Structure 1
Amino acid sequence: MLRIKTAPIIALLAGLTLLTPPVSALTDMDDKPASLETLVGKGKWTVVEVWASDCRACRGSIHETINFEAANPDVDVVGISLDGSGGKANAEKFIDEFGLDFTNLLSDPSEFDKYLYSTAKESFIGTPTFMVYNPAGKLLAVQAGAITEEALSAFIKKQEAQGKPAT
């Protein structure tokens, strides 16, 4: 188990080739079916933040993700709102309020829990949750709780320095 500095929990899933099956209830903000497998593994690191519009920790730390994205243009950032289709208006308000310009998708806690368990053998604990995929699309880490911009950057740099293969 690795830790991202200042983060309470991190699970490094090394040595396992993980497939990324789609979340069956995942949609884009236009209500079209979406899947993470089409967004990761494009030769770039991908950081996924799972959030909810009514999550106090998400509201308090979303600026870290915004700052991370701005400081790391070579990393794709994706958000997954767990507000579900019924809370789409709340998700859109959150996106507008914080000026999120990265891709955001919709799901719900139950569907996301199924996805997380099928890919990482981890149960969903709560929002925010971060997932880090290497450039080949392999899920390397799952982190429940807020993470700083610096911690995310350091984790990726450490993986690169250790020469983690992209496959």
Structure 2
Amino acid sequence: MELFYLALIQIIISIVLSIVIFFISYKILIKIFKLEESEFNNDNLALSIFFSGIIFSIGYLLSGIIPSIINAIQLIKIHSEGNLFVEVLKYSSMCLFVGFLAISILQISSFLLVKTMTKHIKEVEQLKQNNLAVSILLVSILISITLISADSLIFLLETFLPQPEFIQYN
């Protein structure tokens, strides 16, 4: 029965963390691009494609981060000598902060890469003018960089994972 509760907690953590991070990311993106939510309508497919790519990128990276948090919960449960809740909260918060920071840096650097590659194009203005070509280019680069760097991000986060102590016999 203990495995059932652990699985249930993992599902709840995954859903809650995903919703919170998607919400925060969406609000930050709206402010960065100086958009109004009314601009997302049938007349501007380019913005929808671009934001969908960003949301996919975040979701893909979160799909690697959340299992690291769940693994930490299992290891902390086995090896914790203090308050289990505090230890889990401490690791989860740190992991999410580092992950969110890394995801933000990844997406900003992807966008800056595109701006460097296409100096003659004003990307934000083109997205607002429904330029599908620019939107597809931005999303393709973002998703490619996300796929390439996802394993490195997961490895970075797993270095923070509490490791069990081993006894060496000589």
| Normalised TM-score (structure 2) | 0.26
| Normalised TM-score (structure 1) | 0.26
Q: Which has the larger radius of gyration?
A: 2
Flag the structure with higher helix content: 2
Flag the structure with higher strand content: 1
